[in-house]
Every structure is written in structure tokens, then in C-alpha cells.
């Protein structure tokens, strides 16, 4: 029995495209009705549920008579705009049958990268939940570009789990869970029933996407679980083809792969920093600086920087890497990129002499930094 799911109250449910569409030929209304019914059962068990649902592009393609997913961004955005209408209409009508109010939330990475907008999104979602409304979330594909998009709803669902401090994230897919090798090629493949989110060995087991409809494979789901673990959220990767899968998970039945957090939850601000998908620049650190960050969690000083790449402004996110390019930390810089280039390798006592002013004695304050695990 998975007792932590029996006691879990706040759930984020992510449903992949293949589970809401008829192999890409528009929405499967029987499927969307089934998800509404199962979520209604969770609500009846005193659970708070947020639904992250794919399917808008596939539905839009069907409505527009397109049989092949387009490559052009503007065509994908057009399909999303058309399909989102059908997706929301379907969910609204199905949830209404269970006397459940719904709300549509469309997000981009830019909405969560800005601290104020992040907090606004959190407030809106928690208010909706307190009112007994089921938020239905999707990426705002109609306005996103590569610079501001999440890339897949696995990532989005993990960030939503962080945003609302969810107890459980359920990523439903067309696969049974994570196997130790590809079950399509090896009949002896073993389902991994339980593991720690972020375990590097898990990524080696992940194969490519099992569906031509969706955009996320098993590796994106594992990365999503690692992100969700930052707020202490337990992730379940399971097959959406399992009959009545959500109520059965709630009862503690062992379905799919459970990935638990291997560390204490990060503070809310640290979660926000860790979840930023786009860094504006990179600082390469010497061995001493890497060791101090990892072992002491200290602020980053200019003396430990050996190279700077990218153009960034004060207050923007930068990555800190070791000499081999492995990320050590990330955080908000106190100086512009051009200034950091002048300061790198120099002691803090020379900042005023070099720049003519001092903002902060460190390049990145420890309160504005997240150090990566080992």
C-alpha cells in the first residue's frame, strides 16, 4: 500500500495528448468524460485537484483537417488556438455533470519566470482551489516561442506542483511507468515500482517517447519528477489506460512508478530560482569556488570566476559551472555581464576601484542562489 497517497490531499494530474485524443483525430469525448468522473471521485474523497491537460494542438489539427503535425511555429500556434476551444468546452461540460466548476489557466514560462507574476499565479490557483473550482491548465501555445515555452506539459505540471505545494503529481501516459529497459524490445523488462526522484541511474533507463502525438518522452517525466521533488511532491508515472487509475491510486494501490523526494523541500524562493528554465549567461568557476559553494553554501565572489559567456543584466539568472561545464549553481547576478568580465578573478575589495561603485560585495548572494546537488 502506498500510504502517502491515501493521505495526500492536493493533487496535480497531468494527462497526455494520447489519453484525450483518438490517436490525434480530435478529442476522444469518452476519455475526457472519464477523467472528469475520476477527478470528481477524488474531490468526493476531500482531495483538491488541478488538471494539466494536453490535447489542444491535436484537436486543432483535427478541426483544421490537418493529418500531419506542422513544423512551422505559427501553424502550431493556430492549431492550438482552434483546439483550445474544443478542449475547454469538453472538460467544462463533463465536469458540470458532476456539479464541479472549472477554470481555464493558460501559462507561459515568462509567467513563472517573473517573480511577481509567479506569486500572482500562485494566488489565483490557491484561491480557485479554496473555492472548490478545478483549474484546467495548459501551456499558452498561441503566444509562446522557443524563448518562453516550457516545451512539454510534463515540465509545466511539475512547476504547477511546486507553485501550489502539491502533495502528489500524477503524470499519466500511454506507458505503464519506468522500466529498467525498453519493454517493447525486451520481454523481460522490469517495472521500477519505486525510486528516488533525481537518481541519475533512472535517466539511463528512459527511452524515447512512445507516442507520435505528444512531445514528452520518459526522460522529460523523470526530469519533471525531479523538479516536483523540490517542493516535497511525490510523483507517480502511470498508464492512463488503467481502468479507474486515479481513485485506485488514491486508495494506495501500487500502479506505475512512484518517485519520492530524496531531500527536504526547498524554501519557496529557492524553488522559484531552481525552476527557471532559461539562464541569460554562464559563469565558469575555479575549483576553490566550486568547493565553497557546494560545501558551505556561500555567496559567489568575483575572485572565483574564470570565464563569462552571454550578455545579461543585473538581476538576471545565470548558471555557474565548473571547468568541465557541469552546473554547480544558478542565481541572480548583482552586476551586468560586461562588469563581471572586468571583475572576474579579482577580490571584492577592488570592485569600487574597477567599476567606480560597489553595489554588493558578491556577484551572487547566497539568498539568491540555488546550489545543485552533488
Cβ-contact 292, 371 below 8 angstroms: no
Domain 3-271 class in CATH: alpha beta
The pairs formed by 111-118 with CB atoms below 8 angstroms and a separation of 24 or more are 111/140, 112/159, 112/163, 112/272, 112/275, 113/148, 113/276, 113/277, 113/278, 115/272, 118/163, 118/272
Q: How far apart are the C-alpha atoms of 26 and 141, rounded to whole Å?
A: 17
Helix axes 73-96, 29-44, angle to 10 degrees: 50
Q: From the centroid of its chain, how far is CA 233?
A: 12
| The CATH classification of domain 279-371, taken from the options 1.20.140.10, 2.30.130.10, 3.40.30.10, 1.20.5.510 | 2.30.130.10
pLDDT of residue 143: 67
pLDDT of residue 210: 46
Residue ranges in the chain modelled with pLDDT below 70: 1-4, 24, 141-151, 207-216, 277, 373-374
Q: How far apart are the C-alpha atoms of 192 and 180, rounded to whole Å?
A: 7
Q: How far apart are the C-alpha atoms of 138 and 55, rounded to whole Å?
A: 9
Comma-separated ranges of CATH 3.40.1160.10 domains in the chain? 3-271
Pick from 92, 16, 13, 85: nearest CA to 55: 16
Q: How far apart are the C-alpha atoms of 235 and 11, rounded to whole Å?
A: 10
pLDDT of residue 148: 37
Comma-separated ranges of CATH 2.30.130.10 domains in the chain? 279-371
pLDDT tens digits along 52-91? 998 888 899 999 999 888 888 889 889 889 999 999 999 9
Q: pLDDT above 70 covers what percent of the chain?
A: 92
pLDDT of residue 289: 95
pLDDT of residue 144: 61
Pick from 100, 104, 105: nearest CA to 133: 100
The pairs formed by 194-197 with CB atoms below 8 angstroms and a separation of 24 or more are 194/257, 194/258, 194/259, 194/260, 195/257, 195/258, 195/259, 195/260, 196/259, 196/260, 196/261, 196/262, 197/222, 197/225, 197/226, 197/228, 197/229, 197/235, 197/259, 197/260, 197/261, 197/262
pLDDT of residue 183: 79
Amino acid at each position: 500500500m502506498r500510504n502517502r497517497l491515501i493521505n495526500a490531499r492536493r493533487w496535480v494530474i497531468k494527462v497526455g495528448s494520447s489519453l484525450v485524443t483518438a490517436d490525434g483525430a480530435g478529442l476522444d469525448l469518452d476519455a475526457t468524460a472519464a477523467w472528469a468522473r475520476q477527478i470528481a471521485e477524488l474531490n468526493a474523497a476531500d482531495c483538491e485537484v488541478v488538471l494539466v491537460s494536453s490535447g489542444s494542438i491535436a484537436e486543432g489539427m483535427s478541426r483544421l483537417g490537418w493529418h500531419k503535425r506542422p513544423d512551422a511555429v505559427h501553424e502550431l500556434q493556430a492549431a492550438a488556438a482552434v483546439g483550445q476551444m474544443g478542449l475547454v468546452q469538453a472538460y467544462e461540460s463533463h465536469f458540470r455533470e458532476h456539479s464541479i466548476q472549472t477554470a481555464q489557466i493558460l501559462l507561459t514560462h515568462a509567467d513563472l519566470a517573473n517573480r511577481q507574476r509567479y506569486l500572482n499565479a500562485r494566488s489565483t490557483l490557491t484561491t480557485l482551489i479554496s473555492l472548490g473550482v478545478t483549474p484546467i491548465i495548459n501551456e499558452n501555445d498561441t503566444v509562446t516561442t522557443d524563448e518562453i515555452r516550457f516545451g512539454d506539459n510534463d515540465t509545466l505540471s511539475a512547476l504547477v506542483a511546486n507553485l501550489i505545494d502539491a502533495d502528489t503529481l500524477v503524470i499519466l501516459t500511454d506507458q505503464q511507468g519506468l522500466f529498467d529497459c525498453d519493454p517493447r524490445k525486451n520481454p523481460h523488462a522490469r517495472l521500477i515500482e519505486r525510486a528516488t526522484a533525481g537518481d541519475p541511474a533512472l535517466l539511463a533507463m528512459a527511452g524515447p517517447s512512445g507516442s507520435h502525438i505528444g512531445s514528452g518522452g520518459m526522460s522529460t517525466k523523470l526530469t519533471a519528477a525531479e523538479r516536483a521533488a523540490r517542493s516535497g511532491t511525490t510523483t507517480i508515472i502511470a498508464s492512463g489506460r488503467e481502468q479507474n487509475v486515479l481513485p485506485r491510486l488514491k486508495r494506495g494501490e501500487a500502479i506505475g512508478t512512484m518517485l519520492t523526494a530524496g531531500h527536504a523541500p526547498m524554501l519557496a524562493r529557492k524553488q522559484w530560482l531552481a525552476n527557471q528554465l532559461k539562464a541569460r549567461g554562464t559563469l565558469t568557476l575555479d575549483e576553490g569556488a566550486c568547493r565553497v559553494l557546494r560545501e558551505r553554501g556561500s555567496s559567489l565572489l568575483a575572485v572565483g570566476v574564470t570565464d563569462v559567456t552571454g550578455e545579461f543584466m543585473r538581476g538576471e539568472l545565470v548558471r555557474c559551472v565548473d571547468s568541465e561545464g557541469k552546473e554547480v549553481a544558478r542565481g541572480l547576478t548583482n552586476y551586468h555581464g560586461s562588469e563581471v568580465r572586468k571583475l572576474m578573478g579579482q577580490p571584492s575589495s577592488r570592485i569600487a576601484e574597477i567599476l567606480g561603485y560597489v553595489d554588493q560585495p558578491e556577484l551572487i548572494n547566497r539568498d539568491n542562489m540555488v546550489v545543485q546537488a552533488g
